[in-house]
Amino acid sequence: MSHMDSSLSDEDLDEGQSEVKRIRYDSKIYNVSRRFEKHQRPRRTRLASRDSHSFHVKESNLQGLIFDNGAHTIKINYSFEEEPKIIPNCIMKAKSERKRLFIGSQIDECRDCSGLFYLIPSERGYITKWDVQKPIWDFVLSKNVCPVNNYPVIMTQPLFNFKSIQDCIDEIFFEEYEVSSMFRLNPTDLAVLQYHKEIGAKPPCIIVDSGYSFTHVIPYLEGKKYLKGVRRINVGGKLLTNHLKDIISYRQYHVMEETFVINQVKEDTCYVSQDFKSDLKAAELPPSKNHIIRNYVLPDFNNIRRGYIQDRDQKDEIAENCQILRLNNERFTVPEILFHPSDIGIKSIGIAEAVCKSIFSCPLSFQKDLAKNIVCIGGSTKFDGFRDRLFNEVRSMIPASWEVNVYQPSDPITYNWMGGKVLLKDPEFKSKLVTKQEYEECGMSAIQEKFNQWSIIDIEETVQSKPKIEPVSYIDHLKKYDVFGKGIVSEESSENNEKKNENPEESRKCEEEIDVSSKNDGEEKLNLTDDDKFKLP
Amino acid sequence: MMKQFKSQLRGSNRLKEGDKRRVIDETQRRRRHRKIMELLESDNYQDDPHADLVMSKKVPKFEDNLEQRTTRTKKKERTAEYYQTKFRKNFQQLVDEDRIEADIAGRVSYVDVAAEESNLPPRHFCAVCGFFGHYSCVACGMRYCSIKCMETHMDTRCLKWTA
């Protein structure tokens, strides 16, 4: 990553200045960003700048605030920084400290995190509780954390973000925070940009985004979303934590109120099994032979702030008076829900199946490349063994001659945020930004169109997969021949009969018509059943 | 005399309980499952610990612990409640609204991309211990794997399940 940050050369700087003259409205941004370049200059190396130029000939030196608004954590920082700040997107209330709310990362100041009560602004990934979201954003954009400072803001929103939610975001950002310009897009859009930058090419790819509220599988063709191939599985980190809470409460301690602690237990101990059946068998063995069982020391928020897995061989003196949680098959049956939601009765396909369905619902010419470029991002992909399991399952469902490749970035949580940096370097990006002026002049729906439409691709499939087979009535076919030895059916009557068989309703109409027009002719033929037809002279 | 009396008293446990045992029908089982799913999506299990707290004026509110931004000059700062009242819609309302809109515009919507049902047969796990459960409870349909687990299930969750 570092070479991209320090890649701004003097040439870029000059161009930046000339652009200030051309486009007036964001002159402020440029003044500010130039200041930061000066600050960064000593860190530049020759090698780094050469490296980045081989990929992008011309890069914009625009700087901005990248704001990845996840349902669980907000990833935010300026584009000239190395890493984003990860801030919980919730307000918490602690039992121990009454009269105080912990907003976002203020929770670090809380001494006793047992029985935390969460106020979460989003419901199934979409913001619905504005009275919770607003104070969090206030906190995140306050002076001590990440003030907007007139930078353009890149903000993320979930796929198919509802219109009234977008209205509210726009109103808050343009009117309340008075941002000078802003751009809103899906986090996976950024992941694609980052992926393309990392591999130095732009193949079609599939993004598997398994986050807190749900898991999305989104195919990107030519860098844009192909909506017909998108699949959403309503399983995310939240459901997994709640499920783990539920089964531990039933089997060992009552921990229903300890979401915070059990989430850590999940992160520390759970893994995705490579061979589910044999792991389950191994878990049945007595503790001495069991390689799956783990003792987890629960935090008491006195001596131990964060729980940890107890070392089997060493005697643990600190943990003597602590509560110990024994985890056995819970370790892998919980993440297993991602691959088999039906295990807990959710009627939905698992991630691997969704990836395959998604690949096969894309136009034929892209399918091979999609299988080669599967990228997993999001917090729930961080389980050990996730990548390998996904690879193995997808491999088994894809034609053997195709290459399958599953890529997992070193940090799947901040990957989207990194993509924001790439977006800012795109010389065309500046024209996509929506300024406050545009917001005031064009209104919300016009700018939302701009946000939502740019990354959608709709390809009509040219190759028809299979010609439709018309239902054939064999009686129709047989009627032409003298099958039953009752003589050849006369041409006139066979025509009538054929009409009858085409469609039951149509033939009924036909009957009526004939009934009215010619009684003599019609009556005999029309009351016949199929079997009787052949008896006609 | 004495012996007869004793056997009358004891009777058969299985038969005695058989009358009392209620079998839950399909709709009720589905309702139960939905309740479990709702629990899995919930933010908290417990009640708000501050609910009984009477907020005095000294208690810091959301706005207080943040310094005022300097950018905002003319207009009065809007409270979080303003946005909550202006954009008050729950999730289901949003989904319904979006679906209707998408139908008219002919675009793909939130509802359309939900993953379909799997072709693979579902696996069953013991509700008590988490291993494969080959038997299901007559009364409620939950799975169990052994007599031991069945007994635990009967004593705890079967028919007593409340979300």
Q: Is A126 on the interface with B (CB under 8 A)?
A: yes
Percent of chain B with pLDDT over 70: 69
Residue A374 has a CB neighbour count (10 Å cut-off) of 24
pLDDT value at B118 more than 70: yes
Mean pLDDT of chain A: 80
Work out the pLDDT band at A3, boundaries 50, 70, 90: very low
The whole-number average pLDDT for the span A243-270 is 93
Chain A residue numbers touching B97 (CB-CB < 8 A):
162-164
The C-alpha atoms of residue B110 and residue B99 are separated, in whole angstroms, by 7
How many alpha carbons lie under 13 Å from residue B52 in its C-beta half-sphere?
A: 3
Residue of chain B with shortest Cα separation from A123: B91
Taking residues A488-500, report their average pLDDT.
Answer: 49
Q: Which residue has the higher pLDDT, A135 or A36?
A: A135
**Which of A176, A225, A230 to probe by mutation at the B interface, max B CB count within 10 Å?**
A176
Give the tokens for residue B141. Answer: 């349909």
Model pLDDT, residue A197: 93
**Are the Cβ atoms of B71 and A177 closer than 8 angstroms?**
yes
CA neighbours within 13 Å on the CB side: how many for A486?
13
- Chosen from B69, B117, B134 to mutate, greatest number of chain A CBs within 10 A: B69
Identify all chain A residues contacting B83, using CB atoms and an 8 Å cutoff. Answer: 130-131, 134, 168, 171-172
pLDDT of the residue at B53: 66
For residue A19, is pLDDT > 60?
A: no
Most confident of A104-113, A173-182, A393-402, A435-444: A393-402
The CATH architecture to which A66-222+412-452 belongs is 2-Layer Sandwich (3.30)
pLDDT at A480 over 60: yes
The DSSP H or E segment spanning A17 is: helix A10-22
Evaluate whether A413 touches A379 at the Cβ level (below 8 Å): yes
Lowest mean pLDDT, pick from A50-59, A303-312, B78-87: A50-59
How close is the nearest chain B Cα to the Cα of A331, in Å? 11
CA A360 to chain centre: 18
Please report the pLDDT score of residue A25 as a whole number. 40
Instruction: Flag if B39 and A283 touch (Cβ within 8 Å).
Output: no
Instruction: Give the H or E element holding residue A77.
Output: strand A73-78
Name the more confident of A29 and B54: B54
Q: Which of A26-30, A274-278, A376-380, A495-499 has the lowest mean pLDDT?
A: A26-30
Among B residues 91-120, those touching chain A with beta carbons less than 8 Å apart: 91, 94-95, 97-98, 101, 107-110, 113-120
Put simply, whether B162 touches A (Cβ < 8 Å) is no
Joined tokens for residue A141: 């954009």
Answer with the residue of higher pLDDT: A232 or A528. A232
Cβ of residue A533 closer than 8 Å to a chain B Cβ: no
Cα A363 to chain centroid, rounded: 20
Question: What pLDDT is recorded for position B76?
Answer: 56
Of B66, B71, B75, the CB nearest to A139: B66
Is the model more confident about A3 or about A129? A129
Question: How confident is residue A6, by pLDDT bands cut at 50, 70 and 90?
Answer: very low
Q: Please tell me the distance from the alpha carbon of residue A436 to that of residue A444, in angstroms, as a whole number.
A: 11
Q: Work out the mean pLDDT of chain B and round it to a whole number.
A: 78
Length of chain A as a residue count: 537
Of A140 and B6, more confident: A140
Which of A403-412, A473-482, B1-10 is predicted with the least confidence, judged by mean pLDDT?
B1-10
- Find, in chain A, the residue whose alpha carbon is nearest to that of B129: A251
pLDDT reported for residue A483: 60
| Cβ within 8 Å, pair B80-A134 | yes
pLDDT for the residue A128: 92
Looking at domain A237-338, which of 1.10.1530.10, 2.130.10.10, 3.50.50.60, 3.90.640.10 is its CATH number? 3.90.640.10
Given CA atoms A103, A107, A109, A114 in this order, what sign does their dihedral have? positive
pLDDT at B114: 92
Residue pair A86/A116 in contact (Cβ under 8 Å)? The answer is: no
pLDDT of residue B4: 58
Averaged pLDDT, A17-21: 42
A96 — contact with chain B (CB < 8 Å)?
no
Q: Please report, for residues A326, A336, B34, the alpha-carbon distance to residue A384 in angstroms, rounded to integers and kept in the order given.
A: 19, 12, 30
CA nearest A169 in B: which residue? B83
More confident residue, A216 or A315: A216
pLDDT reported for residue A46: 41
Residues of B in contact with A238 (CB under 8 A): 41
- Residues of B with CB below 8 A from A178's CB? 71-72
Which of B101, B107, B115 has its CB closest to that of A348?
A: B115
Contact A237, A211 (CB under 8 A): yes
The residues with which A216 forms a beta bridge, in sequence order, are A209, A232
pLDDT at A49: 41
Contacts of residue A58, defined as CB under 8 A and 6 or more positions apart, other chains included, come to A15, A427
- Does A284 contact B at CB distance below 8 Å? yes
pTM of the model: 0.76
For A227, the closest chain B residue by CA position comes to: B108
Q: Label residue A451 by pLDDT band (50, 70, 90).
A: confident
The pair of structure tokens assigned to A218 is 């989104």
* Range of weakest confidence among A403-407, B87-91, B151-155: B87-91
- Maximum mean pLDDT: which of A264-278, A314-328, B22-36: A264-278
Q: What pLDDT does residue A526 have?
A: 47
Do A157 and A69 form a contact (C-beta atoms < 8 A)?
A: yes
Contacts of B69 in chain A (CB under 8 A): 142, 147, 177
Tell me whether residues A164 and B87 touch, CB distance under 8 A.
yes
Per CB-CB distance under 8 Å, the chain B contacts of A357 are 115-116
If one compares B63 and A406, the residue with the highest pLDDT of the two is A406
pLDDT tier at A397 (50, 70, 90 boundaries)? very high
Is A172 touching B (CB cutoff 8 A)? yes
pLDDT at A168 over 70: yes
**Interface-testing mutation among A65, A106, A113, A130, with chain B (most B C-beta atoms within 10 A):** A130
3-state secondary structure A104-156: HHHHHHCCCCCCCEEECCEECCEECCHHHHHHHHHHHCCCCCCCCCCCCEEEE
> Do A227 and B37 make contact, defined as CB atoms within 8 angstroms?
no
**What is the C-alpha R_g of chain A?**
32
Residue B48 pLDDT greater than 90, yes or no:
no
Comparing alpha-carbon positions, the chain A residue that sits nearest to B82 is A131
Contacts of B114 in chain A (CB under 8 A): 231-232, 234, 348
pLDDT at A417 over 50: yes
Q: Is the pLDDT of residue B64 over 80?
A: no
Query: In B, residues 23-82, which contact A (CB 8 Å cutoff)?
Result: 33, 36-37, 39-46, 48-50, 53, 59-60, 62-63, 65-67, 69, 71-72, 75, 77-78, 80-81
Least confident of A16-30, A422-436, B36-50, B130-144: A16-30
Distance CA A231, CA A290 (A): 38
Closest CA–CA distance from residue B116 to any residue of chain A (Å): 5
Q: Do A346 and B37 touch (CB under 8 A)?
A: yes
For residue A444, the one-letter residue type is: M
Choice between A483 and B151, residue whose per-residue pLDDT is larger = B151
Strand B143-144 and strand B135-136: the pairing is antiparallel
pLDDT at A139 over 80: yes
Tell me how many residue pairs between chain A and chain B have CB atoms under 8 A apart.
187
pLDDT tens readout for residues A64-73: 999 999 999 9
- pLDDT score for B162: 44
Contact with chain B for residue A123, Cβ under 8 A? yes
Burial class (CB in 10 A: 0-12, 13-18, 19+), B82: middle
CA A350 to each of CA B25, B35, B119: distance values in angstroms, whole numbers, following the listed order: 29, 22, 10
Q: Is the pLDDT of residue A475 over 90?
A: no
Q: Is A118 on the interface with B (CB under 8 A)?
A: yes
CB spacing of A247 vs B130 below 8 angstroms: yes
CA-nearest residue to A350 within chain B is B118
Q: Give the pLDDT confidence of B7-40 residue by residue, as tens digits.
A: 566 666 666 666 666 788 889 899 989 999 999 9
What's the pLDDT score for residue A154? 93
Backbone phi, psi, residue A308, to 5°: -155, 165
Residue A367's pLDDT band, with cuts at 50, 70 and 90, is very high
Distance from A502 to chain B by nearest Cα, in Å? 33
A463 pLDDT higher than 90: no
In this complex, do A354 and B115 lie within 8 Å of one another by their Cβ atoms?
Answer: yes
Kindly report, residue by residue over A169-210, the tens digit of the pLDDT: 999 999 888 899 999 999 999 999 999 999 999 999 999 999
Q: B98 near B91, Cβ under 8 Å? A: no
For residue B34, the model assigns a pLDDT of 92
Q: What is the pLDDT of residue A418?
A: 93
Mean pLDDT along residues A415-438: 91
pLDDT over 70 at A516, yes or no: no
pLDDT the model gives residue A57: 52
pLDDT tens-digit map of B69-113:
444 444 556 777 788 777 888 889 999 998 998 899 888 889 989
Q: Which of B33, B72, B115 sits opposite A349 (nearest CB)?
A: B115
How do the domains of chain A map onto residue ranges? 10-48, 66-222+412-452, 237-338, 474-535
Of the candidates B124, B62, B96, B46, the one whose C-alpha atom is nearest the C-alpha of residue A139 is B62
